[in-house]
Amino acid sequence: MRRRTLKIKLGNSAVPLGADRSKDARSGLTASEQELLRLLASGLTGEVAGRRLGISARSVRRQMAALMERLDASSRFEAGLKAAQHGWLR
């Protein structure tokens, strides 16, 4: 059980090589997290957004799950709504 938990935690923090991991002081989101939210908010599917970011659709799902948890959102829509309300999608 412990091994599975560790794997999930590590998987949620995966970032493509060379990606900017620094967080925006205002939002607490990395540049790649903000870009993912922007792409999904513009109507792209997770698969297309992943291709644009150079990550797999599975990585998109994992990152969105982590973002939803951090934003206390129960859906991708709610996560996007909360991000927009905070001004993080500009």
Whether residue 10 is predicted with pLDDT greater than 90 in this model: the reply is no
Nearest CA among 36, 30, 31 for reference residue 55: 36
Q: What pLDDT digit, counting tens, does each position of 51-87 carry? A: 999 999 999 999 999 989 988 999 988 988 888 888 8
Distances (CA, A) of 32 to 1, 3, 4, 24: 30, 27, 26, 10
Q: How confident is the model at residue 47 (pLDDT cuts 50, 70, 90)?
A: very high
Distance CA 27, CA 46 (A): 22
Determine what percent of the chain is predicted with pLDDT higher than 90. 30
What is the mean pLDDT of the segment spanning 27-45?
Answer: 85
Distance CA 39, CA 62 (A): 15
Whether residue 90 is predicted with pLDDT greater than 80 in this model: the reply is no
